[in-house]
């Protein structure tokens, strides 16, 4: 695995007042969210009350070929999803949207997040006769909403009842025959925003997706809120599942997950990263000749570090944007080669210089060593590493792929051991106490559990695999 966090997915939805090519809107919206998930993707279109869904493993332009896109009929509602996901199973099987056809009609659902009580909910549903086809939280949520819809007066009421049973993080866009509905968990772990495109309304994980189709940002979906779009316009409702006002937006949305051109809950992501870099410079000064960022998410933080420290900013590493991600390559030797192809040093910026190298975070520590080696071979006299995030010490249970502290290098090695492991001359981090200072415009609290261990919501305590996820040999132990 590369030394990066991976978020579970990005979600998108559009409601049009007239039938048109809403599939194309979803296609372009998902393109803007591709960074949030590169394992699988899907689009579901509501055409006159019938839902047509196409999903598969792969990137947007691989899955949605011109032939596939022409297969979608015009419609009034479409939802879409890009998924990272860390299930060991078939990525095509786990792709979203999840579609359900039942006595009350058809629905489709996309989700961003991770339920901390998923195992308990699944077991409860299975004992009542539910049959699952995937291992995703989205299918669990869809099953609960469907069951609640049998007795609820509306799909909104069914979603509200379902939310009362869910623990952890979730951001949903649900499509019924006549409505598009967004819902966000009461803590607000992951963002969902609302935009307008003419007479149409759009939901998306980030404002960059609104920009990509020319939509205007209206507002964010509030934690614990359900927003419904139908023929009457926008209807908002409180789910009654409040958390006593406590909110916990994931700090990594600003540090790494979101695009720098997005605005998350009122704060520019690019500006937040520059502030983080400036704070790191203030607390971790060093004598150096040039500040460089590791593309792409370390660039804004490097600019902030340079501005605060007075050390000139330079473009010292070039990223090949056309190569696949290093972590999906099967062999270690291939990953090492691909790191070389993916990143290359600009020797004229690096040679003979004392270099401050800034990146968004240190997670597993698997690629930084090789990046430092590239700088050394380019002639760097010194390499000083700075992280625009605090030390990552605790696992995350709310939607990233770090579910064990054993994967975190800051948990396995001491400060001096990490220095030696990376081959750097010094090492500095953002102070956990300064997390709130990077995004002062945000009115929500920020979740810093991966840095402090202060989990805002229930966490997993039972890590035993269910029987359907274990081999026979494992069950015998």
| Residue 300: burial class (beta carbons within 10 Å; 0-12, 13-18, 19+) | buried
**Residues 191-222: b if buried by 16+ CB within 10 A, e if exposed:** bbbbbebeebbbbbbbbbbbbbbebebeebbb
Per-residue pLDDT, averaged over 264-282, amounts to 98
Residue bearing the bigger pLDDT, 336 or 186: 186
Residue bearing the bigger pLDDT, 325 or 309: 309
Kind and range of the H or E element at 51? Answer: strand 50-57
Per-residue pLDDT, averaged over 260-273, amounts to 98
Please say if the pLDDT value at position 336 is more than 80.
Answer: no
Kind and range of the H or E element at 53? Answer: strand 50-57
pLDDT in the model for residue 430: 97
User: Reduced to 3 states, what is the DSSP secondary structure of residue 83?
Assistant: strand
Output DSSP code: residue 324.
P
Task: Kindly give the residue spans of alpha helices, DSSP state H, lying in 136-243.
Answer: 137-149, 155-163, 207-212
Interatomic CA distance for residues 132 and 149, integer angstroms: 18
Give the contacts of 286 (CB within 8 A, at least 6 positions apart): 309, 354, 356, 384, 426, 428
Interatomic CA distance for residues 97 and 194, integer angstroms: 19
Give the contacts of 451 (CB within 8 A, at least 6 positions apart): 251, 389, 390, 391, 392, 393, 394, 432, 435
How far apart, in Å, are the Cα atoms of 137 and each of 100, 118, 142, 302?
14, 6, 9, 37
- Tens of pLDDT, residue by residue over 226-262, are 999 999 999 998 666 555 678 999 999 999 999 999 9
Model confidence band, residue 77 (pLDDT cutoffs 50, 70, 90):
very high
Strand (E) positions, 351-439? 354-359, 382-387, 426-428
Among 223-237, 376-390, 451-465, the range scoring the smallest mean pLDDT is 451-465
Query: What does the block give as tokens for 384?
Result: 């000083």
* Residue among 391, 363, 389, 361 nearest 452 (CA): 391
pLDDT in the model for residue 332: 47
Please say if the pLDDT value at position 210 is more than 90.
Answer: yes
CATH fold for domain 9-248: 3.60.20
Query: What does the block give as tokens for 189?
Result: 């772990």
Q: What percent of the chain has pLDDT over 90?
A: 77
Interatomic CA distance for residues 361 and 319, integer angstroms: 18
Please say if the pLDDT value at position 326 is more than 80.
Answer: no
- Edge-first strand listing for the sheet containing 200-204: 50-57, 40-47, 75-83, 9-20, 200-204, 193-197, 216-220
Among 144-148, 165-169, 324-328, the range scoring the smallest mean pLDDT is 324-328
Interatomic CA distance for residues 80 and 49, integer angstroms: 17
Q: How many CB atoms lie within 10 A of CB 418?
A: 19
- Contact predicate 340/367, CB 8 Å: no
Among 118-122, 272-276, 408-412, the range scoring the smallest mean pLDDT is 408-412
- Tens of pLDDT, residue by residue over 19-63, are 999 999 999 999 999 999 999 999 999 999 999 999 999 999 999
Catalytic residue among 9, 53, 250, 396, which? Answer: 9
* Residue among 353, 382, 385 nearest 367 (CA): 385
Indicate where the chain has its CATH 3.60.20.10 domain(s).
Answer: 9-248
Cis bond upstream, residue 415 (ω within 30): no
Per-residue pLDDT, averaged over 9-27, amounts to 97
Q: What are phi and psi of 207, to 5 degrees?
A: -65, -25
Look at the block and give the residue holding tokens 């840095």. 451
Indicate where the chain has its CATH 3.40.50.2020 domain(s).
Answer: 269-438
Give the contacts of 226 (CB within 8 A, at least 6 positions apart): 156, 159, 160, 163, 181, 182, 183, 236, 237, 238, 239
User: Reduced to 3 states, what is the DSSP secondary structure of residue 135?
Assistant: coil
CATH fold for domain 269-438: Rossmann fold (3.40.50)
User: Is residue 53 among the annotated active site residues?
Assistant: no
- Contact predicate 371/13, CB 8 Å: no
Interatomic CA distance for residues 34 and 26, integer angstroms: 12
pTM of the predicted structure, to 2 decimals: 0.91
Please say if the pLDDT value at position 473 is more than 80.
Answer: no
pLDDT in the model for residue 467: 65
- Tens of pLDDT, residue by residue over 91-143, are 888 999 999 999 988 999 999 999 999 999 999 999 999 999 988 999 999 99
Please say if the pLDDT value at position 406 is more than 80.
Answer: no
Q: What pairing do the DSSP bridges indicate for beta strands 317-319 and 343-345?
A: antiparallel
Interatomic CA distance for residues 88 and 260, integer angstroms: 30
Interatomic CA distance for residues 464 and 458, integer angstroms: 17
Among 75-89, 174-188, 244-258, 349-363, the range scoring the smallest mean pLDDT is 75-89
pLDDT in the model for residue 91: 82
Task: Kindly give the residue spans of alpha helices, DSSP state H, lying in 351-408.
Answer: 368-377
- Contact predicate 398/168, CB 8 Å: yes
């Amino acid at each position: 695995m590369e030394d990066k966090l991976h978020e579970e997915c990005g979600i998108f939805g559009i409601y049009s007042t007239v039938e048109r090519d809403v599939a194309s809107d979803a296609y372009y919206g998902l393109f803007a969210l591709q960074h949030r998930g590169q394992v699988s993707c899907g689009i579901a279109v509501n055409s006159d009350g019938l839902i047509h869904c196409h999903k598969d493993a792969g990137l947007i332009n691989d899955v949605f070929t011109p032939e596939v896109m022409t297969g979608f009929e015009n419609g009034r509602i479409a939802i879409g999803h890009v998924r990272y996901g860390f299930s060991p199973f078939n990525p095509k099987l786990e792709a979203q949207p999840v579609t359900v056809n039942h006595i009350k009609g058809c629905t489709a659902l996309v989700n961003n997040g991770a339920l901390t009580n998923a195992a308990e909910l699944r077991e409860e549903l299975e004992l009542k006769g539910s049959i699952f086809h995937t291992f995703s939280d989205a299918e669990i949520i869809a099953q609960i909403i469907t069951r609640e819809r049998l007795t609820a007066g509306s799909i909104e009421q069914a979603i509200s009842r379902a939310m009362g049973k869910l623990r952890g993080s979730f951001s949903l866009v649900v499509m019924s025959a006549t409505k598009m509905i967004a819902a966000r968990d009461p803590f607000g772990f992951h963002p969902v925003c609302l935009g307008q495109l003419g007479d149409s309304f759009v939901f998306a994980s980030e404002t960059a997706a609104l920009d990509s189709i020319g939509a205007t940002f209206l507002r964010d979906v509030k934690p614990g809120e359900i927003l419904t779009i139908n023929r009457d316009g926008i209807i908002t409702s409180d789910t009654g599942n409040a958390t006593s006002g406590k909110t916990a937006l994931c700090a990594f949305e600003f540090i790494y997950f979101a695009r720098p051109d997005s605005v998350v809950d009122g704060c520019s992501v690019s500006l937040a990263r520059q502030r983080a870099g400036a704070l790191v410079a203030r607390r971790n000064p060093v004598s150096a000749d040039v500040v460089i960022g590791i593309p792409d998410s370390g660039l804004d933080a490097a600019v902030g570090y340079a501005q605060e420290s007075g050390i000139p900013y330079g473009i010292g590493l070039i990223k090949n944007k056309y190569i696949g991600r290093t972590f999906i390559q099967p062999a270690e030797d291939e990953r090492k080669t691909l790191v070389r192809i993916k990143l290359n040093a600009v020797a004229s910026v690096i040679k003979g210089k004392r270099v401050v190298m800034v990146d968004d975070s240190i997670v597993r520590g698997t690629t930084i060593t090789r990046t430092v080696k590239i700088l050394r071979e380019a002639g760097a006299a010194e390499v000083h590493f700075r992280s625009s995030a605090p030390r990552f010490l605790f696992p995350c249970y709310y939607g990233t792929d770090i579910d064990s502290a054993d994967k975190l290098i800051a948990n396995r090695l001491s400060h001096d051991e990490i220095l030696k492991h990376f081959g750097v001359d010094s090492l500095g981090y953002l102070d956990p106490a300064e997390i709130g200072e990077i995004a002062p415009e945000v009115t929500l609290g920020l979740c810093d559990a991966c840095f402090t261990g202060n989990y805002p919501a229930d966490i997993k305590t039972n890590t035993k695999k269910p029987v359907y996820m274990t081999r026979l040999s494992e069950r015998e132990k």
